Amino acid sequence: MVILYIKKRILYLLSIILLMLIVFLTYSLHSSNFINTLAQLNSAERIHFSTIVVDTHCDTLNKILDENGFPHINLGENTNFDVDILKLYEGGINIQFFAVWAPERYYPGQVFQQTLALLNGLHYTIERNPYAIGLASSINDIDRLVQGGRIVAIAAIEGADSLKEPDGSILLQQYYDLGVRVIAPTWNDSNQLAEGCRGTYYDNTLSPKGLSDFGKQIIKEANQLGLIIDVSHLSQASFWDVMDLIEEPVIASHSGVYSLKKHARNLTDEQIIAIAEKGGVVQILYHKHLLADPGTHVTVKTVVDHFDYVINLVGIDHVGLGSDFDGRGCKMPEDLTNTSMVVNITQEMLRRGYSKTGIEKILGKNTLRLLSEVWKESAPTHFGDNNLIPIIPSHTGEIIQNPYPTLSARISDNKDIEINDYNWQVILDGMLYPHQFQESTGTISILLKEQLQEGFHVITFAATNHSDKTIRQTMIFYTEY
């Protein structure tokens, strides 16, 4: 992977040199335009590849799954997708948010299954490319991965259709355990949490305005966990309910400016101002249909026009990148067709006179600042702490060919854990299950009395002591029979 990337970078640099020669032969050596273009190319590359670049939205995970929800494409290999690991390196992207997109409209009755399939797909990608990409659950993770030269993956739920009463709160915690750190309450359609920007449920029936009581509860709980709230796709009423409900900064992970393109998905001036007043960030997407009217020639310049508007309205501290690469039906500008071309944005900002500091803020520092403010380092521990060792399932994504599996975990030999001081729980698919604890072996387990549905499931083994210290181990597994 690294060797292939180096070869690609050499070819890329050679192509730049060839382009310069062509321009040189076309224009006079003494042309000021030629010299300025040369300087901009050099400066844009130097700025872009020496700073942190963050893209807060892509839908690539949906493309790696087969018809049964199993990952069958490795993003560490060459693909025809807008985003893969090689393209991320070529484009200088350090941090990529991967959307977990499972709307009821396209997965009726299967949104929970699809959500787990996508999260499993992200873990699959990381497990097969451990030296190139890693999952970040904290700012410390980001620092460690970036310093190690790896791409940072952040899991972001886009449309929480799978969170329903009465088990949504428990399931939200399980998603957190699996690495989810961003949540958008809705996609375009409304759900049990909130009204989406369409104003209707997936069956096109009208929905109530704004957040439901259950939606307010979930957003408060997500906020307490340290999840970032993403206001993209919300209706106006839902947006303002969110802004009234929480104090922490929010993001609009892939949105445009309504004043430049009138579309229900885009943000009005009042919304942009409200996001900025909370210290939030508006990440501008690249999808042509949300940037300009039909028939308009949309390029990188159009994307930066949206930057300009937000900056003139609320300042440069509240703009970021949110491509929407690999999104369903998304059409990208001809000079921004995949993530390897993001340096073109930097070049356009430089051409317009943006300062180096300003460019660095937009490319990633604004979003990084927000992450550090919202993410809580004191959240309950989860996978990777080695206090609970899973037995069945033994690893994320394991296929279990038994409709009545005995699901269990073993307590590690840790002198800091007093077994009898802990209150033990086993949670399966958002529901608490009766469990057995065998003190002699340090094993906690559940023996199912009812047949598990064939498909993806999520199991959590958890323990809380009198001081509210919690240890958790959460795994995705698949049953087939």
DSSP class per residue in 347-376:
HHHHHTT--HHHHHIIIIIHHHHHHHHH--
Cα 283 to Cα 325: distance, rounded to the nearest angstrom: 13
Q: How many residues does the chain have?
A: 481
pLDDT band at 377 (very low <50, low <70, confident <90, very high): low
Tokens matching residue 151: 């791409």
> Which among 404, 399, 456, 435 has a CA at the least distance from the CA of 174?
456
Does residue 290 register a pLDDT over 50?
yes
pLDDT band at residue 380 under the 50/70/90 scheme: very low
Q: What is the pLDDT of residues 28-54, one digit of tens each?
A: 444 555 555 545 656 999 999 999 999
pLDDT tens digits, one per residue of 308-322: 999 999 999 999 999
Structure confidence at residue 170 as a pLDDT band (50, 70, 90) = very high
Q: How far apart are the first and last CA of the chain?
A: 37
Asked if residue 12 has pLDDT above 70, the reply is no
Q: How confident is the model at residue 11 (pLDDT cuts 50, 70, 90)?
A: very low
pLDDT recorded at residue 463: 82
What are the chain's domains?
46-374 (3.20.20.140), 388-479 (2.60.40.1220)
Q: In the predicted model, is pLDDT for residue 20 greater than 60? A: no
Q: What is the pLDDT of residues 449-462, one digit of tens each?
A: 899 999 999 999 98
pLDDT number for residue 33: 58
Q: What does the pLDDT read at residue 2?
A: 44
Could you read off the pLDDT of 114-143 as tens digits, one per residue?
Answer: 999 999 999 999 999 999 999 999 999 999
Whether pLDDT at 69 is above 90: yes
